[in-house]
Amino acid sequence: ELLYKDFGNKIVSIDNSKKKIEEDIEKQTFEVQTNSFQVEYEEAVSQYKKEFSNWESGAKIDIVKIRGIILPLIEKILADRSIMFDLNSYSNPKDYMYHHCVATGLISSVIAQKLGFDKGVILQMATAGSLADCGMAKIPARIRDKKQALNQAEFNEIRKHPIYSFQLVKDLPALKEDMKQAIIEHHERLDGS
């Protein structure tokens, strides 16, 4: 419904369409939710980076902290899976490793939900996804962060990260054995190589 108001010598139309107002509110709500998710996501990446630094120094994985980092994001992404398509836009080259780990956990949760798993398995898969590359903390930074092409020895060292990841998670009682197996096999091909 259009209303017309006479303001002196100008006639101004005011659109009071309920649908238009609802669309505007919905758009603003979506933008706030998206921005809120991005802020939480970036904070999660920052927290994950601190944990990764601890692993580089020889600390054990604190699975309670890892779950605390990703759980709020999991709940949001499972409620609105379209958020998943923006994850890559939040990344930056300097912190790629940490973005990759957090995003892998989130994408794992979406896949688990889509496959019909219950909340417990979804959380297990998200945790395993976020820890799949934790073994990169055991690879020297000069190799891991190298911008130029890796030589064969460096490439071979990078290829060991699933083994290092498994070594970091193998004694975590809160992570199920099949999740630990997924971590060690996350680059394995169908032919076993």
- Quickly list DSSP for 105-154: HHHHHHHHHHTT--HHHHHHHHHHHHHTTGGGGGS-HHHHT--SPP-HHH
What residue spans define the domains of the chain? Answer: 18-184
Give me the tens of pLDDT residue by residue for the chain, a chain 193 residues long: 455 555 555 555 555 555 565 665 565 554 545 578 999 999 999 999 999 999 999 999 999 999 999 999 999 999 999 999 999 999 998 999 999 999 999 999 999 999 999 999 999 999 999 999 999 999 999 999 999 999 999 999 999 999 999 999 999 999 999 999 999 999 988 888 8
The per-residue pLDDT for 22 is 61
Report residue 53 as tokens: 């630094």
Contact 170, 189 (CB under 8 A): no
pLDDT at 193: 81
Q: Torsion angle of alpha carbons 112, 118, 124, 128, nearest 10°?
A: -10
Residue carrying the six token digits 């649908």: 19
Cα(40)–Cα(46) distance, rounded to whole angstroms? 10
DSSP secondary structure code for residue 171 in this structure:
T
Widest distance between CA atoms in the chain: 81
Instruction: Give pLDDT, residue 192.
Output: 81
C-alpha–C-alpha distance, residues 11 and 191, integer Å: 75
Report the pLDDT value the prediction gives residue 27, as an integer from 0 to 100. Answer: 57
CB 1 within 8 A of CB 20: no
Note the pTM of the prediction, 2 decimals.
Answer: 0.80
**What is the three-class DSSP state of 10?**
strand
Nearest to 69, CA basis, from 91, 99, 114, 26? 99
